[in-house]
Amino acid sequence: MVSARSGATSGSTPPARLAETGLYSSFASREVDSRNLRYSPQYPLWSDGAKKTRWIRLPPGATIDASDPESWKFPVGTKLWKEFAWSRRIETRYLELTRRGWIYASYVWNDDESDAVRALATGTQSGYEVAPGLRHRIPSVADCFTCHRNGRSEVLGFSTLQLSSDRDPLAPHAEPVTGDLPTLRSLTHRGLLRGLPRELLDHPPRIAAATPRGRAALGYLHANCGTCHDSSGPLASLGLNLRHALTARSPAAEPGAAAIGGASRYQPGPAPRERVWIAPGAPAHSTVVSRMRSRNPVVQMPPLATLIADSDATALVTAWIEQDVTLPAGAHQPSGGNK
């Protein structure tokens, strides 16, 4: 196993069976250990329609350092789990922060759900069909690194925006809010989160957008695209930043606003066409939409962990571009646009 940040050998191998990771107090009855806190991000990642359940455990007496609200620091010994289920449990992913770095593992459930064993580090093909002829793939450790190492924090769904109590009611595939789900305030009150600027407790963060549909569309792009497409990430040279900034207080201040009318290098076919990331009124000329729709492995976005295009989110982003998006002052309108 390899450390997520340093690339050095971590010296810690994940347990061979899910039952040994600490998720359950009783694996036989599937009773989750009471020390594990179930949580739900307001903008979940798309995973081919899977029902996902997530838990986190901090070491006794430990806290998360949120003094940099854009990049939380987790204490050594933090553990996280994410369960994927369709008609039954298929996979549970596991992260643990050791003294040498983060380690990753995926556990594959057998057909009768009597056991879940660690998958090969190279990944494996699941026997479960998420659609006719398409079988869910268990990711390799390298796949895990590709997503988690590109973010500002290795933990992608447990963050300032994702745990805001000002939840987006239009967020695609979001779990309904219940009283037991943690928020910034409840985590701070319980002493599990320290250093978060008071302003973010008094005024819970939210996407700044001109319309409710725009808020949901930008939130979806933040979660599903913004980990890599970030001004400080490995793809910064592309000039596309879809990661929400906590300092944004107006639609124009959202980093995603710069993608409106912004030239894209991607060309959908051999014939040259004028193409921008987000073309106001013209989803057909918007690279973001065409890549969300595609499941060509060379073209699709997100590039990993999905075999089926997210039709609900694509429809949301298409409607937002077609009906709500306007061109920033001084920007060039591509041919085919109607706004």
Model confidence over 98-141: pLDDT tens digits? 999 999 999 999 999 999 999 999 999 888 999 999 999 999 99
Tell me, what's the pLDDT at 329? 60
In 10 A of CB 284, how many CB atoms? 14
Q: How confident is the model at residue 72 (pLDDT cuts 50, 70, 90)?
A: very high
> d(Cα 83, Cα 53) in Å, to the nearest integer?
5
The separation between CA 117 and the C-alpha centre of its own chain, rounded to angstroms, equals: 25
Percent of the chain with pLDDT over 70: 91
pLDDT, mean of residues 224-236: 90
Tell me, what's the pLDDT at 9? 35
Tell me, what's the pLDDT at 177? 79
Kindly report the three-state secondary structure assignment for every residue of the chain. CECCCCCCECCCCCCCEHHHCCCEEECCCCEECCCCEEECCCCCCCCCCCEEEEEEECCCCCCEECCCCCCCECCCCCEEEEEEECCCEEEEEEEEEECCEEEEEEEEECCCCCCEEECCCCCEEEEEEEECCEEEEECCHHHHHHHHCCCCCCCCCCCCCCCCCCCCCCCCCCCCCCCCCCCHHHHHHCCCEECCCHHHHHCCCCCCCCCHHHHHHHHHHHHHHCCCCCCCCCCHHHCCCCCCCCCCCCHHHCHHHHHECCECCCCCCCCCCCCECECCCCHHHEHHHHHHHCCCCCCCCCCCCCCCCCHHHHHHHHHHHHHCCCCCCCCCCCCCCCC
Domain ranges of the chain: 18-202, 212-323
Tell me, what's the pLDDT at 96? 97
Tell me, what's the pLDDT at 235? 86
Model confidence over 237-294: pLDDT tens digits? 888 999 999 999 999 999 999 999 998 887 665 555 668 999 999 999 999 999 999 9
Find all residues with CB under 8 Å of 117, minimum gap 6, and list them.
16, 17, 18, 107, 108, 110
Tell me, what's the pLDDT at 76? 97
> d(Cα 218, Cα 104) in Å, to the nearest integer?
29
Tell me, what's the pLDDT at 272? 52
Model confidence over 1-31: pLDDT tens digits? 233 333 333 448 999 999 999 999 999 999 9
Handedness of CA 109, 114, 120, 124 (dihedral sign): negative
